[in-house]
């Protein structure tokens, strides 16, 4: 499961930890879930599909649509009975449209899934973390949380807000040894990326990345696992950017 796993750095780091990964059925979320489970964690993942094919003794699945308030409320009631040590807020949606064509319902749905759900989840899981004087929360943000492009109004706004939530949560939870960070990936070569972009579009994007390639999901997951691990003892309130230099080093 990647270089760090082969070296054993995470081999027992998550042993016995209770972990929540929202949006954990594919891409980055799937890799995070598998890495932590392989390192001994008990992982609960959420997704919108009816069931999931990778459940085992260390991974459980629960269907949740965070765009539906009743679903979110029911999940929060369920999660209240689990003593989570680690929470990874990865679930997100993106509805692309220009500001003039973006309707209020789409705007609200993006904000509900990308900001409101993480806010309410952090409120819930942090209660036990504070009692235990230990916790790690990682919010999967985006390159578009600090820059943007056309047709990303709702998504960019939601990720900017998520970073703000990260900073506030980090400040409030620091006295309880609960560390909260955002992780902002750049372009990642997932199945969704390959299905949505043509070869020419992928080539144009990678041309503008100093490393001349997109990240793999495992590369991003490895950073998330470090932030969520007990190896991280002093990083909190930060937005960690993993974009191959795209945002700062373009020629």
Torsion region of 163: left, alpha or beta (phi above 0 gives left; psi -120 to 50 gives alpha): alpha
Within 13 Å, how many C-alpha atoms sit on residue 242's CB side? 21
Mind telling me the catalytic residues? 155
Calculate the alpha carbon distances from 39 to 8, 12, 30, 227 in Å.
Answer: 9, 5, 14, 15
Separation of alpha carbons 221 and 123, rounded Å: 24
| Helices 153-173, 104-111: crossing angle, 10 deg rounding | 30
Q: What region does 133 belong to: left with phi over 0, alpha with psi -120 to 50, or beta?
A: left
């Amino acid at each position: 499961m990647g270089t760090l796993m082969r070296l054993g750095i995470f081999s027992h780091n998550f042993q016995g930890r209770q972990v929540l990964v929202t949006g954990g059925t594919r891409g980055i979320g799937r890799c995070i879930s598998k890495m932590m489970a392989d390192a001994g964690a008990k992982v609960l993942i959420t997704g919108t599909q009816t069931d999931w094919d990778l459940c085992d003794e260390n991974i459980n699945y629960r269907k949740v649509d965070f765009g539906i308030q009743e679903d979110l409320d029911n999940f929060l009631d369920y999660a209240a009975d689990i003593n989570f040590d680690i929470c990874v807020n990865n679930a997100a949606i993106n509805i692309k449209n220009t500001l003039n064509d973006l309707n209020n319902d789409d705007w609200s749905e993006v904000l509900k899934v990308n900001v409101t759900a993480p806010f309410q989840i952090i409120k819930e899981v942090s209660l036990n973390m504070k009692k235990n004087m230990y916790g790690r929360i990682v919010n999967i943000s985006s390159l578009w949380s600090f820059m943007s492009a056309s047709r990303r109004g709702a998504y960019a706004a939601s990720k900017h807000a998520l970073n703000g939530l990260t900073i506030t949560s980090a400040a409030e939870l620091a006295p309880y040894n609960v560390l909260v960070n955002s992780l902002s990936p750049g372009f990642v070569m997932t199945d969704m990326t390959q299905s949505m972009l043509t070869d020419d579009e992928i080539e144009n994007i990678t041309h503008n990345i100093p490393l001349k390639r997109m990240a793999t999901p495992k590369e991003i997951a490895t950073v998330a696992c470090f932030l969520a691990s007990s190896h991280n003892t002093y990083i909190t309130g930060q937005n960690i950017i993993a974009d191959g230099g795209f945002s700062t080093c373009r020629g």
